Structure 1
């Protein structure tokens, strides 16, 4: 646990990754938190005394004064980022942007992507996928369309116009380039959403954004890694992964550690998989152990029903899906187990088989998965987290 650490959720998201990253950064030293997937749909809760923040694009080490790097695998939404800056300032974080760097090749999520995402989800009616409505899927999908022609089907969606090159964070510093890309984007999506926001307004806003943040090129993660220890913060959970999740209720993102490993190159890192002591998910999709009684016993302090994502759901710990998630990661080096303050727990060791009492989750999980529990959380606050591996060293 002294080297680089990759934190990945082993469920459908909301496992407690933010609190785990905060605990690692507070224990330190950590040079930077690196986001390696997802975008503005992340919602990672960190509680430190009377301060609480739901991290979206900033890394969850921010309240420990650890910088964030948004890698080329992240999707960046500057309007939402500006709102998060204000929220962090209200919590007493001085000049949050001093703690942020962004890879120039990161794709840009715009209001056009957001509107298109919501239009598609609205059209699905009762068959919604459970999207967060933040434009993540549309940003990724449009980035795949280079050379595509109208009428083609790419990733199960019809190409509805002539696409242009996808706008990136680096384009924000080059207004002429950005304007061409945004014009093409708006024309492409006009059949779906109608006239979008004024392009000139977006170009001006994104130019200000480029002036305010540090945009990096080349192997910034390698440079950071050579300076000290990195914590890679994953978004969503492996059971939502675009390859290993259960379609269509998945995210357009690689949730497994693959992106983090690619950013590190040959540098070693420990993979820490995060799980609650019971199963949860937000919105539509399978939840084999769902039980309204679990939801009633463990009211959620920081999660609720989202306009697009849907209702908060809960069930018993699912050992089958947990093992599946670990295997999808290529194995993990240790576990972080959160919500250990929950009581009267049960676990499903098979689907369609009787539930088993889970009286002591830590030794049960260590025996079931054959890896140590390195981090424990018994409440929402940083003070409720312990790094067991460091205590043993």
Structure 2
């Protein structure tokens, strides 16, 4: 029976998915990390017990342990940011092994430029974009004539498509976005032919040599414990109620189920681990229930989500365990396999991170629309009673050796 681990953020992202992925890689044998949604705008922080730190965008959060990464067809590859991160990892002694599905869509420089111009153009009505071109790439890649995949890169077809995009698509998209008369400094760069030339050079001379094409069937056959690492969170999913302050990605379990169906495995043991901080955060524009003017605990330290032009500052709120339960149940109930001849065991787990940041062992949170202040153990027990998980992972620090696991069914 194939053991599958799925790591999913329960809120607006930044819950600790990198931490939990790193932990799962250390607790299982012959693992591979599979990215199944989103793109390079993920920021999954891993800190080793000896203090080595990296924020992962393209590569799986097990990379500091030498665990390989597979970028599935639901992941959008940004070659320029891939190379930037690859060099960052090299500087700390890591050479990541990366396999990519040939159907992976590609993010091109014009996607990033359009994204940044548009987000600035929105002024006070920003959607909370990271400015890395993911949403723009989804729009462009939805049109076959302008779609570029990793397979196109290896066949060389992508070069012709880049020319067609410059000749036909960019003007159309600028018109659609009402940016024709924008005086943004990036407008001139958007139409600069040198961008395409430099991109082709980087792809052909650097990017292609650092990846290997593969597919989900081969990955699941060759690795004992695939770990599906989700990006962002359930409250940012494209089908969540906070549109348009969401991402163009399914952040829950749906894509994982589709990939497992594609692989046609007959026996599966799936553990879905939903991750939350001990409080709620949002980095970017959009609703944040019960938002606070200041961070809830003085001990909170976040070196990853720094203030920037597009997302602003990291925002905070007490955790609402009823909303947390609603998010998890809505996603977990989507697990349904079309093939009825499979033998499938499915378990639901919860991971609560940043418990070490709770001041004076007093947790502030919402339950039944009431703001409560209880000791940390009572807070944890309230969450477990509400969600009723099979397993619980409690994190009291920044690295995997600060995680404690116990079964809620014992």
Shorter-chain TM-score range: 0.7 to 0.9
Task: Specify the SS of the correspondent of 1:355.
Answer: strand
Structure 1 equivalent of residue 208 of structure 2 = 211
Structure 2 CA distance for partners of 1:197 and 1:80, relative to 1, 3 Å: farther
Q: Deviations over 1:27-46 (max 9, x none)?
A: 22142100000101000000
Structure 1 equivalent of residue 336 of structure 2 = none
Structure 1 equivalent of residue 117 of structure 2 = 119
Matched, 1:336 2:351: yes
Pairwise mapping of residues 9-20 of structure 1 onto structure 2 (< 5 A)? Answer: 9-20=9-20
Shift of 1:380: 0.7
Q: Structure 1: how far apart are the matches of 2:250 and 2:375? A: 31
Pairwise mapping of residues 343-354 of structure 1 onto structure 2 (< 5 A)? Answer: 343=358, 344-351=362-369, 353-354=370-371
Pairwise mapping of residues 1-393 of structure 1 onto structure 2 (< 5 A)? Answer: 3-48=3-48, 49-93=50-94, 95-96=95-96, 99-146=97-144, 164-175=145-156, 177-187=157-167, 188-190=169-171, 191=174, 192=179, 193=187, 194-198=190-194, 199-209=196-206, 211-217=208-214, 220-227=215-222, 228-265=224-261, 267=265, 268=268, 269-295=270-296, 297=298, 298-331=300-333, 333-343=348-358, 344-351=362-369, 353-357=370-374, 359-360=376-377, 361-389=379-407
Q: Structure 2: how far apart are the matches of 1:342 and 1:115? A: 38
Task: Specify the SS of the correspondent of 1:236.
Answer: coil
- Over 4 Å off, 4+ runs: none
Q: Indicate conservation of the 8 Å contact 1:57/1:76, yes or no.
A: yes
Structure 2 CA distance for partners of 1:203 and 1:302, relative to 1, 3 Å: closer
TM-score by length of 1: 0.88
Q: Indicate conservation of the 8 Å contact 1:317/1:348, yes or no.
A: yes
Shift of 1:358: 5.4
Shift of 1:326: 0.6
Q: Deviations over 1:167-217 (max 9, x none)?
A: 111111233x21221122223124454414522332222222453133425
Give the aligned length. Answer: 368
Bigger shift: residues 73-82 or 183-192: 183-192
Structure 2 gap segments, 5+ residues each: 180-186, 334-346
Q: Deviations over 1:349-386 (max 9, x none)?
A: 244x4435353233221101111443221111222123
- Over the aligned positions, Cα root-mean-square deviation in angstroms equals 2.2
Q: Indicate conservation of the 8 Å contact 2:79/2:207, yes or no.
A: no
Q: Deviations over 1:17-64 (max 9, x none)?
A: 000000111122142100000101000000012200000000000011
Q: Indicate conservation of the 8 Å contact 1:36/1:70, yes or no.
A: yes
Q: Indicate conservation of the 8 Å contact 2:105/2:147, yes or no.
A: yes
Bigger shift: residues 300-309 or 109-118: 300-309
Q: Indicate conservation of the 8 Å contact 1:318/1:349, yes or no.
A: yes
Q: Indicate conservation of the 8 Å contact 1:348/1:354, yes or no.
A: yes
